[in-house]
Amino acid sequence: MTNIEKKLKAIDQEIDQFRIRIKNSEDLKSVEGVFDTLTLKTLYHLSNKGYIDALGGVISTGKEANIFHALGCDREIAIKIYRISTSNFRSMHSYLIGDPRFKSIGNDKRSVVFTWTKKELRNLKKAHAAGVRVPEPYIARNNVLLMEFIGEGELPARQLRETPLTSDQAQKVFDTTVRYVRKLYRANLVHADLSEFNILMDGDEVVFIDMGQSVTLDHPNAREFLMRDIYNIVRFFRKKGVDIDEGVVEDMILRS
């Protein structure tokens, strides 16, 4: 047996060892339908390093990534895995190309997806440090991001759009949302895709998620992205009975 054949056999054995940790056949089917050998190797590496003890069910399936519930280090975690083969390469590249933190990006899809995953880790860390409630990030490797699971007992927290709110509750959630956008802005960051789909309600607590596309203020489209975030916030909360104007929200965020 050649060295290459031995290496391939070792990789196959590693992947098989990881597969047995998956809870049931439906979860295995989901993994096999989305992830390639490289992704499974990455998961195995993180598992072998002690970050993942057991992989659970699918939390959500998005356009670019799947999120899984998992256990690791005596805590619940969320594993976000970007799909290399089906990710929107052009869209990702447009958010990366103007970000001075990521000047050297390969033109192949794998390099872009790996950079995107690293970018979300850095954005979450930056938001967390600024006092914005986000899933606490743990580690990123290749196209895999490990972070805090927002929810309880394997049940993810509700998206804001799914959460019933009284008028008073809507006002409080709105106030927190604007305060968080302002904190991001002061930390030199714009969410760039903020809406009722990317805000979770962990009990009464507002949590911002999906920050892979978030950009620094020196990105050429940062102001445009900020205004879009503001528009989405105002549009949603007006429907919930909050009397607010886009210009007022803009002033609240931009004032020193």
What is the DSSP secondary-structure string of the chain?
--HHHHHHHHHHHHHHHHHTTSSSHHHHHHHHHH--HHHHHHHHHHHHTTS-SEEEEEEEE-SSEEEEEEEETTEEEEEEEE-TTTS-HHHHHHHHHT-TT-----SSHHHHHHHHHHHHHHHHHHHHHTT---PPEEEEETTEEEEE--EETTEEPEEGGGS---HHHHHHHHHHHHHHHHHHHHTTEE-SS-STTSEEEETTEEEE---TT-EETTSTTHHHHHHHHHHHHHHHHHHTT----HHHHHHHHH--
Q: Among residues 36, 74, 168, 210, which one is catalytic?
A: 210
Give the span between the Cα atoms of 253 and 149, in whole angstroms: 28
Q: Is 245 a catalytic residue?
A: no
Q: Among residues 168, 193, 202, 251, which one is catalytic?
A: 193
Q: In the chain, what are the helix, strand and coil shares in percent, each to the nearest 5? A: 45, 20, 35
Q: Count CB atoms within 10 A of the CB of residue 163.
A: 16
Q: Count CB atoms within 10 A of the CB of residue 227.
A: 14
Residue 184's closest CA among 198, 171, 170, 204? 198
Q: Is 210 a catalytic residue?
A: yes
Q: Which residues are catalytically annotated?
A: 193, 210
